[in-house]
Structure 1
Amino acid sequence: MTPPTPHDTAADTTVGTEVGTDVGTAVDTEAVARSVAAEHGLVLRGPAGEGVDFVVHRVGRPGLGDAVLRIPRHRQYLSPYGDVGSAALVRQEHAIAAHLGPLGLPVATPLRQIERPDGLLVSLAAHVEHDDVPLDGRDVGRFLAALHAATPPRTPLAYQAPGDFTGFFVKRLGDRHANLRRAAPSLPPLPAPLRVTAALEAVRTPHRLLHLDVRRQNLLSRGGRLQAVVDWSNALIGPPLMELARVAEYALLPDNGIDASEVLAGYAESTAVPDLESPAALLYRLDTAIMLALVFHSVAPDAERAKILTGRAEHLLGLLHTAGNPARPVRPVTVAGPSTTHDRGERQH
């Protein structure tokens, strides 16, 4: 198992914690799993994965094959845009999968949302057979290209503030940067908000559904071919460049198990790959780097990793302040050990 790390929203409540939890709303997930299984004629097969927000159990359905039961750890999560109920995340995952499946995109087929007598909402989805054979990254790129070509669903997204995307992102980046500066006071300042806004708005593309957690733990494959993409809790509707910039940053961390060059090659089979060192791309990469640095300053404390990833954020800030001076190229990061991203993969086993 990989260490717990936060979801992808920058909370102001705790330095470095991007989603907090209301400890008074903790859920006994084992008891819920047993109760749901008994009430719905399911056979518990054991844990299938876990994340900060959810625990996943594999269950048997007599005569119907296996499924997975996704149970929230808490009833409420804290975000900078207000408290988010776990039910909203369950509905979001279900709605996105229901929207994408008929379009031919690889998702875990949603089966049922089960409301408990106490109001807790859990989800049941089809089990996806998968293995640990190395995944062909080009499959991931093809998936992202198809996702970014599809009309987004109309379902509300739990962690997306209403209104203009650029304004939402600028505020989030500012909040994250301020949080990291509390832990690392020498962190350079952000470029002026008007400059950040201008850089983002210089890239004018249709906004599409973004997964924003593309890493091996959330990519179910078999024989090296992608079978399903799971865990849509971090989804936003925004510019595809943000997704590809995040992939590029995630790929710098070997334990995320993705090869950016392969992913981008698959993406380029059907659509042009944008410049991942443009000012807008560097801002999206910075957003990711700061989030990762915050993880190791608080949620999964690791002084060495925090130092490395804070250095990464400093490097990206330097590139932005020098307008992408080629004398300061984007350099890789080496962070050894278990997964460094913000949520343990809810892989189905």
Structure 2
Amino acid sequence: MNLSKERIEFLQKKIYKVLNNQENWNVKRIKFLSNGVVNAVFILEEESRGILIARTPWGLDESNEDVASLIKEATIAKHCFKHGLKVPKVVHLHLSKEISFLVSEYINGDDSFISAADIGHLVSSIHKIPFEGLSIVEQENKSFYHIVSSRIVDRVSTLNKFLSHEIKIPPLKEMETTLSMTNSDHCLIHLDIRTPNIIRYKGEIKAVIDWDNAFIGDPLMELMRILETGDIDIQEFQKGNGNNNFLTSSSRPNSIIYRLDTALMLAILFTTYIKDIDKGQHYIQRSHYLSNSLKRLF
């Protein structure tokens, strides 16, 4: 998803101007680095702070959700940094009607290989972080299980608009009740663990980034998402993670619900935002399979 040169220059100039209007800020250079579905990322050099990273929603109409995403990233990153997890240090969060952006520490990385066992250990470290005092903006006063069940219903509704054969799922309340029957302790879960979100250098994990999907919730959902995406060697992952039981629970209703949430998200992503016919069809088929598996269990 490429941004126009004009849009990149507009965002770049806005960030430059806002920062240099702050007391004790002197940005010398700013350069476009990359963009994702929501945010554009810039690298900048500040006189006393050195190299930094700024991310900002690139859409023409900055939504409340996009701004909330920046707040969420800053809040979780500060909390994780305080508890010793390897994350970029938050430097500045700017929120305004004109432009909102988050400035963080720059951590140098490369494309070196990191083992699935190391990723498993990283996930275990995330799950062990105390979450007392951490407030996630879209989770306030809402049950985690209700959030998951609701977005499955919403995602099915969205995806069915593109399908000739509709995906059918159990009622929201039934899914929510099924999930709430689990006895697992909740913890901080990242929910987008993959190598692009792990800064690594010479085979060592330097930091984990992109907390936009994170929640305080059931760690099984993290594991089922990793299992469903298929990007990480699960056997090696288990060696580093220390959880040797989650594969045996992958056929249970709550596991299927969590995997369905992931499959639906990826089906929508690859059919509407990132056009990839093969991946889109794969996750549409997975969504059908998992919804049918779920119906047989209810």
Q: TM-score band, normalised by the shorter chain?
A: 0.7 to 0.9
Q: 1:32: which partner in 2?
A: 14
CA contact (8 A) 2:16 2:27 kept: no
CA change 1:194–1:114 in 2 (3 A) is closer
CA contact (8 A) 1:161 1:168 kept: no
How far the C-alpha of 1:50 sits from its partner, in A, is 1.8
Residue type at the aligned position of 1:61: E
CA contact (8 A) 1:246 1:284 kept: yes
| Gapped regions of structure 1 (runs ≥ 5) | 5-25, 78-82, 253-257, 325-349
Q: Secondary structure at the match of 1:316?
A: helix
The RMSD of aligned alpha carbons is 2.7
Q: Secondary structure at the match of 2:161?
A: helix
CA contact (8 A) 1:246 1:285 kept: yes
CA contact (8 A) 2:29 2:46 kept: no
Q: 2:158: which partner in 1?
A: 179
- Equivalent of 2:206 in 205, 223, 227: 227
Q: Structure 2-normalised TM-score?
A: 0.85
Indicate whether 1:294 and 2:294 are aligned.
no
CA change 1:36–1:259 in 2 (3 A) is farther
CA contact (8 A) 1:166 1:197 kept: yes
Q: 1:124: which partner in 2?
A: 103
CA change 1:115–1:54 in 2 (3 A) is same
How far the C-alpha of 1:301 sits from its partner, in A, is 3.5
Q: Secondary structure at the match of 1:168?
A: helix
- Equivalent of 2:86 in 86, 90, 106: 106
Per-residue deviation, residues 247-270 of structure 1 (Å, max 9, x unmatched):
111225xxxxx33333332111xx
- Equivalent of 1:76 in 52, 58, 62: 62
Indicate whether 1:321 and 2:283 are aligned.
no
How far the C-alpha of 1:112 sits from its partner, in A, is 1.9
CA change 1:142–1:304 in 2 (3 A) is closer
CA contact (8 A) 1:136 1:225 kept: no
CA contact (8 A) 2:86 2:206 kept: yes
Number of equivalenced pairs: 287
Q: Structure 1-normalised TM-score?
A: 0.73
| Gapped regions of structure 2 (runs ≥ 5) | 3-7
Q: 2:44: which partner in 1?
A: 59
- Equivalent of 1:92 in 72, 96, 101: 72
CA contact (8 A) 1:27 1:73 kept: no
User: Higher helix proportion, which one?
Assistant: 2
How far the C-alpha of 1:205 sits from its partner, in A, is 1.5
Residue type at the aligned position of 2:15: A
CA distance in 1, matches of 2:234, 2:132: 27
CA distance in 1, matches of 2:164, 2:133: 41
Q: Secondary structure at the match of 1:317?
A: helix
What aligned pairs does 1:150-169 form with structure 2 within 5 A after superposition? 150-152=129-131, 154-160=133-139, 162-169=141-148
- Equivalent of 2:279 in 280, 295, 305: 305
Residue type at the aligned position of 2:208: V
Q: 1:242: which partner in 2?
A: 221
